[in-house]
């Protein structure tokens, strides 16, 4: 460990649970510690240490929100005096040693106490059964959270803990390692031979206190099997220490565990099933759900988890997920009783807040996609079809790499060089390439990347020190990428060129799938690894790529919640967030943006329901009726080729026609009804106010809106704006809640005035997805699956109410539109007049000729909270048509292999 790191660790340990120090006091403390550790440490390094601590002190984590079942009775506070927090205090010390910010550790302590208090009380000996769910964020620290919960549950008296850790071996092994480090304190993959009472191979928390070591019936190299478990049970001494298993979510593994437990009981050994048992279901939306319409093995796993819970007299199930749209909440059958869903979290749902430094979906796909500006971190893949189509067969050949993948590779190598110059040479740095479901194709990608990486390394080895280095085409290509992506960083090209070869000389390409796993970050010295990981399903869920900086992601875009789980680029990128880049097709960017918005809304819904003292059943129903769930529901029954009727609630929702037809007859018809609407409003002498958003009319009677919707020609691709169910919802409220409307016609502040609609406005501009044009429609989304600009739902809201909503949200001025919807007095109708444009850089594409040359009409509606919120409208989805529009999900060959064995 370097002297700098040693000083940093010592100062942070001394500051834990202490009042925050002033700038001068902090620097004096660092200096005094530095004198003890190494008196040659410079003032510059001391200042760097102080700034790093100050930066960490600014990182916070919220306390989340809780929706409790009606029968919840608190118990934890009553027994707290009797609990010795041995396992938790060890883990807390490890988190501090690993550099986790103090406020994040404190927040985790508080949140996991809340979760523990909702489990069954292990000191109560009558039978109980608790079911709950923790909704986190992808790659945000769910493992840390449930490891903390495991430690606290063990302290409270739970003696059997089962972690069901994903459906592939990589994730199970990774989770076992983390449980070894954070809870067990010993490397379970090595011999547990003991000497002088202390186990060998102590790791993690074991370094603080190696007593009371839990017994593990699985290890880092082997999943559960009956012979090994039977051998290891000799270590169990009347459950004076906890017993833990980390198993794969696989029907054979679960079957073995169930049989072993039954065999023990049949032999009269009922001590194990008499223990209070905690089951942690990681990625609870994946394979645990009872789909009923999908793979029979998935449903089998669901049944096995339920059977496992039934084996114990006192059991608690806690599912962890980042995608709460999963159909653990959703069943396409409208008559299904959600209250009796087999693994439904009937007792509690807890929404976790991500720390403020979390690099997640909201930051990347909402905040990082500013209106009419270039994305911050996202880049488009537009050149893959000839070389590597999204849809390809197992025998597909890849003679060379697409240009965007080569650009991404060079970006990654440059990012490694910049990170080294920033003093991060000891940190790992990774690139992810996820582009095929087939391991054979993944192998080809690995080989092509290896060949190109060697070319670049050889060029740098020979010519990087030359004054004519830029005459080398490989070095010139790196320079060109630097100018586009990293010219504004703090280092000149000269500094990059001088150091880049040393930084990337050991870079390697590895394959990560069921056939090969070259990902091993432990095999390194003082220098962090530089890894380009190529894979598919194994890289799609749970697996952490250390220091992930650049991603090239080319996958099917209609995987919905699974698509979000594929986002390995989410997480924490301290000191190199500005270097991160993600390449994906425009359509995938649109879907990620859509899902990110929907997931953010659900997290807000948990907070709203907590305040309203709602129950988990209420939340389950809210998820099922959310407009976004329409897509999940239809996908669930896609193979059946029938019509699915889905009930959707439009209370407190925003809908818009982000997709419209390019058929000239339909465009003209919609223009005609828009002009008629404006003409009728002017004829009725409504006052038009010029606002920052455009022209605003107040107190417009609903009949004007309804007449417009009745004449609107909706393209089938815009599922949620099908006018029949929308008009049905409005009609039920036309006499009271929705009688009067605000009506907005958006207009830019600068540009050419257009009077086509009958009023003078400056039409908004929106880029479209060129791929959609061949199917007869266009998506106005650009890359956000939204036509409206952020903040537009504030139009018409009372300024005082808007200010109150913003103050209560308190997220540094970056407010979601949903907060204004919640304080609206009247609904808002938005009549868009939009000029469609080709995406930047694609103006010369042959498909541009299909874009209408004149502005076209679209619309949106922002609906306030309804007092009749329980009333929902019926959307009918023809699954055959749905399949034609969106295609079917690709299932990785690895997924099928893991699920089957």
Worst-scoring range by mean pLDDT, 150-159, 326-335, 567-576, 779-788?
A: 326-335
pLDDT surpassing 90 at residue 535:
no
Split at pLDDT 50, 70, 90, the class of 336 is very low
- The Cα 201–Cα 185 span in angstroms is 9
pLDDT at res. 332: 43
DSSP per residue, 386-422? TTS-SS--TT---SS--HHHHHHHHHHHHHHHHHHHT
* Beta strands, E only, 73-122: none
HSE (CB half, 13 Å, CA atoms) of 788? 24
Single out the residue of 281, 282, 162, 365 nearest to residue 541, CA to CA.
Answer: 282
Extract the tokens encoding 627: 């407009």
Q: State what percent of residues in the chain have pLDDT above 90.
A: 45
Whether the pLDDT of residue 680 is over 90: the answer is yes
Phi, psi of 746 (to 5 degrees): -60, 145
150-164, 316-330, 409-423, 602-616: which range is least confident on average? Answer: 316-330
Question: Residue 63 has what pLDDT?
Answer: 73
Query: pLDDT per residue over 169-205, tens digit each?
Result: 777 888 899 999 999 999 988 765 444 344 568 999 9
Greatest mean pLDDT range, 451-455, 616-620, 661-665, 811-815 = 451-455
Position 635 pLDDT exceeds 80: no
Between residues 301 and 336, which one has the greater pLDDT?
301
Q: Nearest-CA neighbor of 398 among 387, 385, 410?
A: 387
pLDDT tens per residue, range 44-83? 788 777 777 766 666 667 778 899 988 889 999 999 999 9
Q: Of 175-184, 316-325, 425-434, 890-899, which gets the smallest average pLDDT?
A: 890-899
- Is pLDDT at 163 greater than 90 in this prediction? yes
Tell me: the pLDDT tens digits for 664-676? 999 999 999 999 9
Phi, psi (5° rounding) for residue 863? Answer: -105, 130
Q: CA-CA distance, 13 to 6, in Å (whole number)?
A: 11
Label residue 338 by pLDDT band (50, 70, 90).
very low
What residues contact 427, with CB distance under 8 A and at least 6 apart? Answer: 419, 528, 546, 547
Report which DSSP code applies to 466.
S
Return the closest-CA partner of residue 220 out of 520, 548, 567: 520
Q: How confident is the model at residue 242 (pLDDT cuts 50, 70, 90)?
A: very high
Mean pLDDT of 627-632: 72
What's the token pair of residue 844? 């010369």
User: Is the backbone of residue 213 left (phi > 0), alpha (psi -120 to 50) or beta?
Assistant: beta
Beta pairing class for 777-779 and 548-553: unpaired
In this prediction, residue 340 has a pLDDT band, given cuts at 50, 70 and 90, of very low
CA distance 1 to 56: 20
In 267-389, which residue ranges form alpha helices assigned H by DSSP?
A: 296-310, 361-362
Average pLDDT, the chain: 84
Instruction: Tell me which DSSP letter residue 597 carries.
Output: H
517 vs 287, which has greater pLDDT? 517
pLDDT > 50? residue 567? yes
* Lowest-confidence region among 220-224, 240-244, 785-789: 785-789
How much is the average pLDDT of 223-239?
A: 76
Place of tokens 């909704």: 135
Q: Is the CB of residue 831 less than 8 Å from the CB of residue 789? A: no
Tell me the mean pLDDT in the region 463-472.
Answer: 92
Spatial distance between the Cα atoms of 361 and 596, rounded to a whole number of angstroms: 6
Q: Which residue has the tokens 């003696």?
A: 159
**Of 570, 534, 574, nearest in space to 554 by CA:** 534
Asked if pLDDT for residue 470 goes beyond 80, the answer is yes
Q: Identify the H or E element spanning 589.
A: helix 586-611
Whole-model pTM: value is 0.79
858 vs 360 pLDDT, higher one:
858
| 276/125 Cα distance (integer angstroms) | 9
Nearest to 271 by CA among 307, 229, 233, 317: 233
pLDDT at site 894: 58
CA distances from 436 to 570, 719, 846, 897 (A): 20, 29, 28, 16
Give the pLDDT of residue 372.
63
The whole-number pLDDT of residue 344 equals 81
Contact 125/138 with Cβ under 8 angstroms?
no
Report pLDDT for 801. Answer: 93
Mean pLDDT for the stretch of residues 101-110: 88
Cα–Cα distance for residue pair 163/179, rounded to 1 Å: 9
Please name the residues in contact with 340: beta carbons below 8 A apart, sequence gap of 6 or more: none
């Amino acid at each position: 460990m370097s002297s700098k790191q040693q000083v940093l660790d010592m100062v942070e340990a001394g500051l834990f649970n202490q009042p925050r120090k002033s700038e001068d006091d902090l620097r004096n403390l660092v200096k005094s510690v530095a004198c003890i550790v190494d008196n040659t440490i410079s003032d510059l390094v001391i200042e760097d240490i102080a700034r790093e601590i100050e930066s960490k002190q600014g990182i916070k984590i919220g306390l989340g929100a809780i929706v409790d079942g009606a029968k919840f009775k608190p118990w934890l506070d009553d027994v707290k005096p009797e609990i010795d927090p041995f396992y938790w205090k060890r883990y807390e010390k490890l988190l501090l040693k690993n550099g986790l910010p103090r406020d994040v550790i404190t927040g985790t302590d508080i949140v996991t106490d809340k979760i523990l208090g909702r489990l069954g009380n292990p000191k109560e000996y009558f039978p109980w059964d608790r079911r709950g769910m923790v909704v986190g964020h992808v790659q945000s620290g769910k493992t840390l959270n449930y490891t903390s919960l495991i430690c606290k549950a063990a302290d409270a008296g739970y003696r059997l803990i089962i972690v069901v850790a994903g459906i592939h071996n990589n994730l199970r092994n990774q989770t076992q390692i983390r449980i070894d480090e954070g809870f067990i304190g010993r490397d379970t993959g090595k011999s547990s031979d003991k000497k002088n009472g202390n186990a060998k191979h102590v790791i993690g928390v074991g370094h603080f206190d190696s007593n009371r070591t839990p017994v593990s019936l699985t290890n880092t190299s082997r999943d559960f099997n009956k012979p090994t478990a039977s051998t290891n049970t000799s270590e169990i001494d009347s459950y004076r220490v906890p017993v833990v298993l980390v198993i794969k979510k696989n029907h054979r593994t679960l079957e073995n565990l169930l049989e072993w437990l039954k065999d023990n009981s049949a032999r009269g050994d009922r001590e194990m099933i008499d223990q209070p048992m905690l089951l942690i279901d990681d990625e609870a939306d994946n394979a645990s759900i009872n789909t009923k319409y999908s793979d029979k093995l998935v449903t089998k796993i669901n049944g096995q988890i339920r059977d496992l819970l039934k084996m114990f007299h006192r059991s608690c199930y806690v599912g962890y997920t980042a995608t709460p749209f999963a159909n653990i909440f959703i069943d396409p059958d409208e008559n299904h009783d959600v209250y009796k869903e087999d693994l439904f979290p009937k007792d509690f749902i807890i929404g976790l807040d991500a720390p403020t430094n979390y690099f997640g979906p909201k930051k990347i796909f909402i905040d990082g996609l500013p209106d009419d500006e270039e994305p911050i971190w996202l880049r488009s893949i537009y050149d893959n079809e000839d070389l590597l189509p999204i849809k390809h067969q197992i025998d597909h050949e890849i003679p060379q790499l697409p240009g965007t993948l080569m650009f991404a590779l060079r970006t990654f190598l440059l990012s490694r060089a910049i990170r080294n110059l920033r003093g991060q040479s000891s940190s790992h740095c990774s690139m992810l390439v996820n582009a095929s479901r087939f391991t054979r194709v993944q192998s080809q990608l690995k080989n092509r990347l290896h060949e190109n990486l060697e070319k670049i390394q050889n060029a740098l080895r020979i010519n990087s020190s030359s004054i004519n280095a830029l005459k080398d085409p490989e070095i010139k290509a790196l320079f060109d990428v630097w100018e586009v992506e990293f010219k504004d960083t703090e280092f000149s090209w000269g500094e990059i060129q001088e150091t880049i070869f040393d930084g990337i000389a050991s870079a390697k390409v590895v394959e990560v799938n069921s056939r090969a796993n070259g990902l091993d970050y432990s095999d390194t010295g003082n220098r962090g690894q530089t890894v380009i990981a190529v894979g598919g399903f194994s890289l799609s869920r749970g697996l952490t790529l250390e220091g992930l900086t650049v991603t090239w992601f080319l996958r099917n875009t209609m995987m919905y919640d699974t698509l979000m789980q594929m986002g390995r680029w989410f997480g924490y990128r301290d000191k190199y967030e500005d270097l991160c880049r993600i390449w994906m097709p425009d359509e995938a960017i649109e879907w990620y943006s859509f899902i990110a918005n929907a997931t953010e809304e659900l997290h807000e819904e948990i907070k709203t329901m907590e305040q309203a003292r709602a129950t988990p059943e209420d939340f389950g129903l809210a998820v099922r009726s959310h407009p976004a769930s329409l897509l999940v529901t239809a996908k669930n029954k896609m193979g059946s080729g029938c019509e699915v009727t889905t009930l959707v609630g439009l209370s407190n929702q925003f809908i818009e026609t982000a997709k419209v037809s390019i058929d000239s007859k339909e465009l003209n018809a919609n223009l005609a009804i828009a002009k008629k609407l404006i003409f009728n409003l002017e004829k009725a002498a409504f006052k038009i106010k010029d606002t920052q958003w455009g022209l605003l009319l107040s107190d417009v009677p609903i009949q004007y809106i309804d007449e417009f919707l009745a004449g609107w020609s909706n393209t089938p691709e815009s599922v949620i704006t099908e006018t029949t169910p929308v008009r049905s919802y409005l009609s039920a409220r036309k006499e009271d809640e929705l009688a009067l409307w605000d009506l907005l016609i958006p207009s830019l502040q600068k540009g050419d005035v257009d009077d086509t609609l009958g009023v003078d406005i400056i039409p908004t501009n929106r880029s479209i997805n060129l791929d959609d044009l061949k199917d007869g429609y266009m998506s106005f989304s650009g890359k956000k699956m939204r036509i409206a600009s952020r903040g537009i739902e504030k139009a018409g809201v009372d300024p005082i109410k808007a200010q109150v909503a913003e103050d209560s949200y308190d997220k540094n001025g970056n407010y979601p539109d949903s907060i204004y919807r919640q304080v609206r007095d009247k609904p808002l109708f938005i009549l868009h007049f939009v000029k469609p444009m080709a995406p930047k850089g694609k103006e010369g594409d042959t498909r541009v000729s299909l874009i209408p040359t004149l502005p076209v009409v679209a619309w949106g509606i922002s609906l306030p909270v309804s007092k009749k919120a329980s009333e929902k409208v019926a959307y009918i989805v023809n699954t055959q048509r749905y399949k034609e529009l969106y295609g079917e999900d690709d299932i990785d060959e690895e997924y099928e292999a893991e699920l089957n064995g």
